[in-house]
Chains A and B, each alone.
Chain A
């Protein structure tokens, strides 16, 4: 069955370190998204991609970067982790067409000390 996976599921890191969160989907979806979810804020869009080599900034992109070298993967990099980036991160994918249902990965819980 097609799925979307994230790794690691839990990560503790220190301020200033570079961190990369992996997202892999086997749906063959063109669209992929990264969100963060914090108490009191709901899901906020960090970056998104509509296809290979395409990346776009979302609502809260500062301090994050993504790259899309193939259809299946959209890794999220925190260039220099900050305590404010402690959060739960969800990756999602959808078929072509922005209004389509998004399928979410299980999430990565990141703690920056």
Chain B
């Protein structure tokens, strides 16, 4: 089983839609979790950290389920500018560094 797995998509949604991404991780000892955003041909940037209690930042909500070892990202009221690849990132992999998922591509259409 890969350390961090994501559905690659693409998710094609209309503006205003709500879309959710899930990510699973294999190491139950993982300690920290993040969502990064990567625009086409650009560098990844931190979108939000994921806390055990769940957290919200505007239209974005992140959830962590330790028992099932998955992380989710919910985007409400999608904007054209949300089009990007979303990377699930876990700290606590076998080398003690951040482990990146391959990303889920989101395309928001007018």
Contacts and interface: CB of A to CB of B under 8 A. Distances in A.
Contacts of A42: 87, 100-103
B91 interface: yes
Interface of A: 33, 35, 40-45, 48, 58-59, 90, 98-99, 101-102, 104-107
A43 B44 contact: yes
A59 B94 CA distance: 10
Given A104-B43, A104-B45, A58 B97 contact: yes
Interface in B69-110: 87, 91-92, 95-98, 100-103
A97 B73 CA distance: 25
Interface of B: 31-32, 34, 41-46, 49, 87, 91-92, 95-98, 100-103
Interface on chain A toward B: helix, strand, loop, or mixed SS? loop
A90 to B, nearest CB: 6
A43 B101 CA distance: 8
A106 B42 CA distance: 6
Contacts of A35: 100
A33 B99 CA distance: 12
B95 A99 contact: no
Contacts of A48: 97
Nearest to A57: B95
Contacts of B43: 90, 104-107
A102 B42 contact: no
Closest 9 CB pairs of A and B: A42-B102, A104-B43, A43-B100, A99-B32, A99-B91, A101-B46, A42-B100, A104-B44, A106-B43
Nearest to A43: B100
